[in-house]
Chains A and B, each alone.
Chain A
């Protein structure tokens, strides 16, 4: 079946199996492997992406259900090839990523929680990351990263990735 959706600001069209998961469409059909599969059953959050600004587990979403919607993946988080988002920056500085497999999902979850709570308490950070498993860090450095990110200026909307930059990447 033919599917059209917007991914990281660019309209994309592809032919997909009617039952394909959004995760597979992103990884296989659109060649965006930054979104990971840790369990395929909605438990680990490694496959987290934004659909119309809402954090979802893409392994649980039938791709056809998001036709015409706006998807953001980890590949669309950095404002440009040379710049990092503040959450990425903070993860890098504070040891928030170890093996890195949970990191794309974790960063999107962190962005979601910071959108809701710009200056989160520790309890809000824990709650906000509750759907994303990390086996390496024991979460401590991830909490520190999120708190540190909250103290950094958010990227102004004008610096969001433009289609041109995205294509260059």
Chain B
């Protein structure tokens, strides 16, 4: 074991110890929800509408199973409010009259025999009188068929800077383009699942695979009309989330709890892959129209962006996704005249929701593809065009936010170009492609890039409203326990929080315990989303640990430097004296951050991570298959706490981004996903991912002024890689084929069509 003085001198920040929960994961001992042994549990299943829109007229339970042995729950059994709401109470937990999408839950069934549950589900017939539907985003915006509110608009806003109309009218060059991205399934390998226990005496306890314990907590308190203390939510080991376990777990937990309440028995509900893909949320499909004005050098004079999202049948989180998308729509570029019009429309698809990047991958794709279109039109290299338009410190973004991050984007770009040997390959591939074309051989090579940024933490005043809390206490034996509702979902939260605590307290890792998220044990530190865990919650862990240390030293129990044994005995004495060795730290908005929710003006995010990604591809014009050969991901995300895990985040995100760009296509029919199986919804395998080279820069720390918002200058990184991967790949495909590639996924069929259309 390391000596404490060594620890304090050489901080653990920036080192890569094995992850805390790692042994349990590599030995198969980690307990995921479906592994939880539950004595006497019933299995629960869901009967869904299958009709995209209509009036529910009745339910028939056909003979074929012993119905008297089943516990049956419908909307009528809900003790409190029939809603699962994040922003607005428009979504029922169980539909009772109106059906708004084909996966709407209507009846819940529970029985000890799993197979019998399945049979019963098929014998339960719903009588639904169909109503007109709308599935196309723009048809929804036309408003001919009204499916939500007065105008189908879940949320709209606009960001205005300067005078776009005037600037467009006078710009010498105008470029227009339309861009689109498809729905994307999170495809965490562990499907969603919950176990619920309910009784009038003890209230409700739910264990589950989830990202946000307090979201589920709030949903259940509302559904049952219970005071907060009668609901308890406990996170099990969670097999991936990526946003997919942000909101839907509230629905599934509610269903399991309702069945448990009715049956007075524990109920286990685990989705199989098919149901998970059909019913849970996906990335919002998007369409973006951009008109931009330029001078001959390519300099942006005006930028007019119309950004639209398909929100699905209910509001859920769409307004916030739309905000993040809109706020990233103009990219890391400077322009004096910007208008961003953003709208999220309701359709009769199941609600779309959070997926890593949260609207930004959609809008970043559009602006990056548009810049490549401009570059092609003006005959300027894409990298050069970007360089001419980069934001610099002191300049303002579309919202009027002044860039205060310590960045030098041309420098970042240069480094990425050098890493990838971009300039040489750009020329070389163009020559090779011309040769292949003249020889009639099918192989084309391309290299392309994307530059982008991602705001860390909640948008706008989100963090201020959340007012997250972290608690830290110490036992008489000197074990420091970190209590936060942030969940471990693969990103390594337990390890990073431990490192942050070690950095402050100078203790060995085994003396730091990160308490499992359980609403009876941890305060509300906000949801595990928005790349906020390290930067926002980690900062609270840091300040709580500082406070704990202060408390011990103020009492004269701890000196300037100490050994772990001295720390433990200080804790022991403190307890013996009857002291409470527990401190809390609550989020305080840093001064100088101003945001106006109504006008979309001000500091949209406290800080950003900045990046340049480069992709190299091979396209085969016989099969129309695109292969990503190499990928370079360079980013400045501030101080990196754990380099191995941080690189792992980027690599995983790049792979998901490549899937988003090339493979992952949701096929819809009447609002239902037609390929809800891993067999025909294709995600990248070990044979598909390229060599991914990840590099981090931390310019602020290099210059001696670490970023202020996170612990030791850390920022968020979790979502960043999703923003830039797809546009970098598309850019390389454009270089290889000459086709713009303005829509993803670009499957072989799509590429074939695009090439034929271009002929």
Contact = CB atoms under 8 A, between A and B. Distances in A.
Interface string A93-116: 111111111111001000000000
Interface stretch (A63-71, A84-92, A151-159): A84-92
B116 to A, nearest CB: 12
Interface string B669-701: 000000001110001111101011000000000
- Main SS of the interface on chain B? loop
Contacts of A96: 26
Given A101-B189, A103-B26, A139 B273 contact: no
Contacts of A139: 651, 655, 686, 689
B150 interface: no
Given A41-B679, A101-B188, A129-B686, A91 B26 contact: yes
A36 B242 contact: no
A35 B24 CA distance: 13
B705 interface: no
Contacts of B27: 34, 74-75, 77-78, 84, 88
B28 A38 contact: no
A56 B237 CA distance: 25
Nearest to A105: B189
A41 B647 contact: no
B30 A130 contact: no
A41 B273 contact: yes
Contacts of A36: 32, 189-190, 239
A141 B237 contact: no
B29 interface: yes
Contacts of A165: none
A97 B653 CA distance: 15
B568 interface: no
Most buried by A among B21, B26, B34, B273: B26
B496 to A, nearest CB: 13
Interface string B19-49: 1011111111111101101000000000000
Contacts of B34: 27, 33, 37
B692 A99 contact: no
B109 interface: no
A154 B516 CA distance: 35
Given A99-B489, A135-B652, A126 B686 contact: yes
Contact of A135 (B26, B29, B492, B656): B656
B35 A33 contact: yes
A107 B30 CA distance: 15
Q: For this complex, into which size category does the number of interface residues on chain B fall?
A: 35 or more
A100 B490 contact: yes
Contact of A88 (B26, B241, B273): B26
Given A98-B490, A139-B686, A141-B644, A92 B26 contact: yes
B586 interface: no
A39 interface: yes
Contacts of A74: 27-28
Nearest to B692: A140
B187 interface: yes
Interface residues of A, number: 54
A3 B754 CA distance: 56
Contacts of B29: 34, 75
Given A99-B189, A140-B651, A126 B687 contact: yes
Contacts of A91: 22, 26
A133 interface: yes
Contacts of A125: 686
A88 B23 CA distance: 8
B641 interface: no
A90 to B, nearest CB: 9
B678 A44 contact: yes
Contacts of A142: 686
B679 A137 contact: no
A114 B35 CA distance: 29
A124 B18 CA distance: 26
Contacts of A94: 644
Contacts of B691: 140
B651 A141 contact: yes
Nearest to B242: A135
A36 to B, nearest CB: 7
A75 B30 CA distance: 11
A44 B30 CA distance: 19
A91 B27 CA distance: 11
Contacts of B23: 84, 92
Contacts of A44: 189, 678
Nearest to A122: B691
A130 B32 contact: no
A133 B678 contact: yes
A98 B652 contact: yes
Contacts of A130: 685-687
A34 B239 CA distance: 13
Contacts of A38: 189-191, 273, 678
B240 interface: yes
A121 interface: no
11 contacts: A27-B34, A33-B31, A36-B190, A39-B677, A41-B273, A41-B679, A97-B19, A97-B22, A101-B239, A140-B689, A141-B647
**Top 7 A-B residue pairs of the complex, sorted by shortest distance between their CB atoms:** A34-B28, A101-B239, A99-B490, A100-B25, A138-B655, A74-B28, A138-B651
Given A98-B492, A101-B189, A138-B653, 10 more contacts: A33-B35, A34-B29, A39-B678, A43-B678, A77-B28, A95-B648, A100-B30, A103-B28, A135-B187, A136-B490
